[in-house]
Amino acid sequence: MFLVVGLGNPGEKYARNRHNIGFMAADEIVRRHSFSPFRTKFQGELAEGKIGTKKILVLKPQTFMNESGRSVNEVVKFYKIATEDIVVLHDELDLAPGKLRIKRGGGHAGHNGLRSMHDHVGPDYGRVRMGIGHPGDKNQVSSYVLKDFGKADKDWLEPLVDAVADNIDLVLAEKDSDFTTRVALAIKPERGSKAKRI
């Protein structure tokens, strides 16, 4: 069994924030793969389903970002999920908007949601780091991540979230380079790959 965790803040006020891109991707995984509806459990919203033969739980902690690890820890303990079988979807300031990287293990780089994950389940989980860009001044980071995505972001945001949802099975199979390639092509298709109009 795998656990996919989308990070974000609960409530309509935060729904379109840059910090909530993890929630957006989690919602799309549940929708695209016909998972059960989200249920309120373990201080979060939890959905169950299968992708191929793999049983997968998708969790959106409702504890606010800086306490995300509490909710994750409850799920991990109840279902006895190995830390290596957790994949976290989160915003990444150090990547340009629309860029994406996979990381397994390592530090939290100051991300409050990841810091809480480290505190409660340790560092050995996978991360899908979804770039949202940086405001250019560290003093503006807090207000930047808690602002909604702009209209101009739609061009890369929707293809990114869709591609993450479509190809999440590759992350679970640890085919990280295949995953990043597929997502990159979804955001910027190769020239000539679009169907010609007749």
Respond yes or no: is residue 19 known to be catalytic. Answer: yes
Q: What is the DSSP string of 68-111?
A: HHHHHHHHHHHHT--GGGEEEEEEETTS-TT-EEEEESS--TT-
- If you search the block for the tokens 């006020």, which residue do you land on? 13
How far is 47 from 39, CA to CA, in rounded Å? 6
Give the C-alpha distances (Å, rounded to integers) separating 110 from 66, 91, 118, 171, 195.
Answer: 11, 12, 11, 23, 43
Q: Select which of 19, 33, 90, 111 is catalytic.
A: 19
- Give Cα 153 distance to the centre of its chain: 17
Token pair in block for residue 66: 């800086």
By annotation, the residues acting in catalysis are 19
